[in-house]
Amino acid sequence: METETGWNQFKGKDTPSTVEIHESLFRAVSKNSYVLDFGCAWGRVAFQLQKLGYNVTGFDLNKNAVDTARESAKLCENSVGKVKFDTANAMELPYADGSFDACIIQAFLTTIISPSDRIKVLSEAYRVLKKNGILYLADFGLNWKNLHYREMYRRDYISTRELGTFIVKEDSKALGEDLFTVHHYTRKELIDLVKNFCVENFHETVFTTFHGNRTKGYIIIARKC
């Protein structure tokens, strides 16, 4: 799976993690809830939520990043909420049905470049959520207005064969070695992925990318119904 080979190259806190949690999550999910953080990397979001009183389980394919998160967790044992980290695959989660009050899938689906794998990820989120549990999904939107992205969409379509899927290079000007492949979503693509959920809020926002660019993003709050 490309996601695994592309993201295991990052060590510890070098794993990209730039998107901030939107306040809509805090309104939808009460403190003391049990939250699953998809693609947690070194735990930036998980620790933020823990300090606010949430009980968070984070998982990632990158064992090195998970080990870094576990070491940091040792310093937070007396915090308001609880936090733990696992090495796991989002398409085959090691958690029982109905284990969590909320799932956070933030800037994670962008790394899933197979359409069928995206469906598996959302199916697993649905499975591990409790009845009426909350899905918080935030990801990058297809941005034709941005010349930089428009050029990359067109350039890499020849090899990716999917509009909006492109290769991130070492340099912000799309030069140098290939780092990983990502996908920017249309509104319809995201709506189709959460069709088994009841969508309560869908809005457009702005996110910061790996290279520090500001670009369009979408946030969805949906419920397992």
Task: Kindly report the pTM of this predicted structure.
Answer: 0.90
User: How does the average pLDDT of the chain come out, rounded?
Assistant: 90
Q: Under a CB-based contact definition with an 8 Å cutoff, are residues 37 and 58 in contact?
A: yes
Query: CB under 8 Å, gap of 24 or more: what pairs does 46-49 form?
Result: 46/83, 46/85, 47/72, 47/73, 47/76, 47/83, 48/21, 49/21, 49/81
Q: What's the pLDDT band for 208 if we cut at 50, 70, 90?
A: confident
Quickly state the pLDDT bin for 10 (edges 50, 70, 90).
Answer: low
User: Bigger pLDDT: 116 or 17?
Assistant: 116
Q: Which residue has the higher pLDDT, 173 or 181?
A: 181
pLDDT of residue 5: 43
DSSP SS3 for 151: helix
Q: What average pLDDT does this structure show over 137-150?
A: 94
- pLDDT confidence of residue 7: 54
pLDDT of 6 higher than 60: no
